[in-house]
């Protein structure tokens, strides 16, 4: 009688890191894009910032 002891299979399935959606690169994860409005006359910059929904992630902030 041969007792072949198999080593306990240590196949623990580690759940691992929870997959996190990478942040959108366009809006940097904010979900919004800011566009500085410039008025061309005399190179004046009024510096109005328009915030809009990110066209890439549609406001979700994740790519």
CA of residue 46 relative to chain centroid, distance: 31
Q: Is 62 in the site for Zn ion (CB under 5 A)?
A: no
User: Using the rule CB under 5 A, which residue among 10, 24, 35, 39 binds Zn ion?
Assistant: 24
The position carrying tokens 């759940």 is 15
Pick the closer one to Zn ion by CB: 42 or 54. Answer: 54
In angstroms, the first-to-last Cα distance of the chain is: 60
User: Using the rule CB under 5 A, which residue among 2, 11, 38, 57 binds Zn ion?
Assistant: 57
Interacting residues with Zn ion (CB under 5 A)? 24, 26-27, 54, 56-57
């Amino acid at each position: 009688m041969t007792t072949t002891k198999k080593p306990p299979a240590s196949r623990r399935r580690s759940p691992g890191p929870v997959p996190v959606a990478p942040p959108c690169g366009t809006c940097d994860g904010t979900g919004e894009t800011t566009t500085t409005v410039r008025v061309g006359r005399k190179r004046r910059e009024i510096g109005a910032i328009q915030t809009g929904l990110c066209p890439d992630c549609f406001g979700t902030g994740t790519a």
